[in-house]
Amino acid sequence: MSATLAQIALAEGLTTLIEVHGSTWTFGAALFAGVASQLRPNDPRLLGSADRLFEIRALMSALPSPAPERGNEISRDGTPYRIARVDYDLSTQIATILVSVP
> According to the model, what pLDDT value does residue 9 have?
82
7-25 per-position pLDDT tens digit: 778 788 888 888 888 899 9
Residue 43 has pLDDT above 80, yes or no: no
CA 75 remoteness from chain centre: 12
The mean pLDDT of the chain is 86
Domains and CATH numbers, the chain: 5-100 (2.40.10)
> According to the model, what pLDDT value does residue 54 have?
87
Higher-pLDDT residue of 57 and 48 is 57
Q: What is the pTM of this model?
A: 0.81
Average pLDDT of span 85-92: 90
Nearest to 39 by CA among 28, 29, 47: 47
